[in-house]
Amino acid sequence: MIYAVFLLAVFMNGATDAANSLTGVVCCRILPYKWAALLSAALNFSGLSVFSSFSPKVLKTVESLASGGEKEAFAVLLTVALFAGGAWIFSVPTSESHALVAALAGVTLAKGQGADLYKLAFITLGAVASALLGALMGAAVCFFVKEKAKINRTLAIFGFALSSFFHGAQDGQKFLALAVATNLLNFNGFSVILVGAAMFVGTLLGGRRIVEKLGEKMTDLSLRSAVSSDIGSAVSLFIITLLGIPSSTTHTKTCAIAGASAAMGAKVNKKELFTIALGWILTVPACIILAYFITKTINWL
């Protein structure tokens, strides 16, 4: 049962979080959705493999927050799956990274232990920093990308590849860290493939509505803004991942799109942006409370 919930949580990450890296190449009709999802899956896997092997700082940060056994892991994973599923129904691109960390805090509180406020503050700071850095980098790159340049299609694929790679480096490490810390999986090649495969299926089957939310409803994404947001968010994630901060790829990419669009003078739908931001704000308290009560219920049963 717990392995099914683990795969469901990773699947929902693919549907609500990993899909954001596809926004530019799909909305600008550079790649068909299915081919973009397949290529993104390979790059997610590559990012997870490279960083978990050579620079596993994010993995170690999340692993240090996880404790307990299968019951605790089940509560965390069920919380993430339920929250992400609710967000997907309303087409809100959420951060499973922060849902995961908040759920860990909720489980800790339910066990009567004090949460590590320093690490929670560190991760919250990472969320804010990734959003701000994404907006700034998206706007900054926009000034170097020329309108209607022939190279823009190539740059769009390059930016999409980088975004997908760093999504794997960030979110893949977090789920793998939880599984390893609670003895669900061993840290090996099979575990990396399992996480990557579940993420791919989620992106392929459920990610299209997130792409539409970011690239069509929040703003009318042009090729120039797609290139700028992809490269800007990828550079931001590269910096944050090297520092070992568990950040949100969703926060980074969404703000990079908004920053690039604003720099071009394009209209950004403030209502849609507010809905997305509200989902981010509610993530931490909602997941702490949900994980707390799921843990109490499991212990009672």
Residue 264: what pLDDT? Answer: 87
- Confidence band of 289 (pLDDT split at 50, 70, 90): very high
Residue 161: what pLDDT? Answer: 93
Contact 287, 166 (CB under 8 A): no
What does each C-alpha distance from 145 to 40, 129, 157, 179, 263 come to in angstroms? 23, 24, 14, 41, 12
| The two structure tokens encoding residue 241 | 């991942």
Mean pLDDT of the chain: 83
pLDDT over threshold 80, residue 139: yes
Beta bridge partners, 219, equal 268
Other beta carbons less than 10 A from residue 149's beta carbon: 13
The three-state secondary structure class of 219 is strand
- Confidence band of 137 (pLDDT split at 50, 70, 90): very high
| Residue 164: φ, ψ to 5° | -65, -40
pLDDT over threshold 90, residue 240: no
DSSP state of 268: B
- Confidence band of 121 (pLDDT split at 50, 70, 90): confident
Residue 78: what pLDDT? Answer: 92
Task: Tell me the pLDDT tens digit for each residue of 64-109.
Answer: 666 667 788 898 889 999 998 888 887 777 777 778 888 888 888 8
Contact 53, 172 (CB under 8 A): no
pLDDT over threshold 80, residue 248: no
Residue 116: what pLDDT? Answer: 64
- Confidence band of 204 (pLDDT split at 50, 70, 90): confident
First to last CA, the chain: 16
For residue 9, the number of C-alpha atoms closer than 13 Å in the C-beta half-sphere is 28
Residue 65: what pLDDT? Answer: 66
What does each C-alpha distance from 34 to 16, 86, 205 come to in angstroms? 16, 24, 9
Residue 290: what pLDDT? Answer: 95
Task: Tell me the pLDDT tens digit for each residue of 150-189.
Answer: 899 899 999 999 989 988 888 788 788 778 777 788 878 8
Per-residue pLDDT averaged across 215-240, rounded? Answer: 86
The letter for the amino acid at 21 is S
Per-residue pLDDT averaged across 136-143, rounded? Answer: 93
pLDDT over threshold 90, residue 232: yes
* CA 239 to chain CA centroid, nearest Å: 16
Per-residue pLDDT averaged across 218-223, rounded? Answer: 82
Per-residue pLDDT averaged across 34-62, rounded? Answer: 83
Higher pLDDT, 191 or 58: 191
Nearest C-alpha neighbor of 174 from the set 41, 5, 72, 61: 61
| Residue 183: φ, ψ to 5° | 65, 25
pLDDT over threshold 80, residue 259: yes
pLDDT over threshold 70, residue 117: no
pTM (two decimals): 0.82
| Residue 219: φ, ψ to 5° | -160, 160
* CA 129 to chain CA centroid, nearest Å: 15
| The two structure tokens encoding residue 217 | 């409803």
SS3 percent helix, strand, coil of the chain, rounded to 5, is 80, 0, 20
What does each C-alpha distance from 266 to 184, 225, 250, 274 come to in angstroms? 47, 9, 21, 17
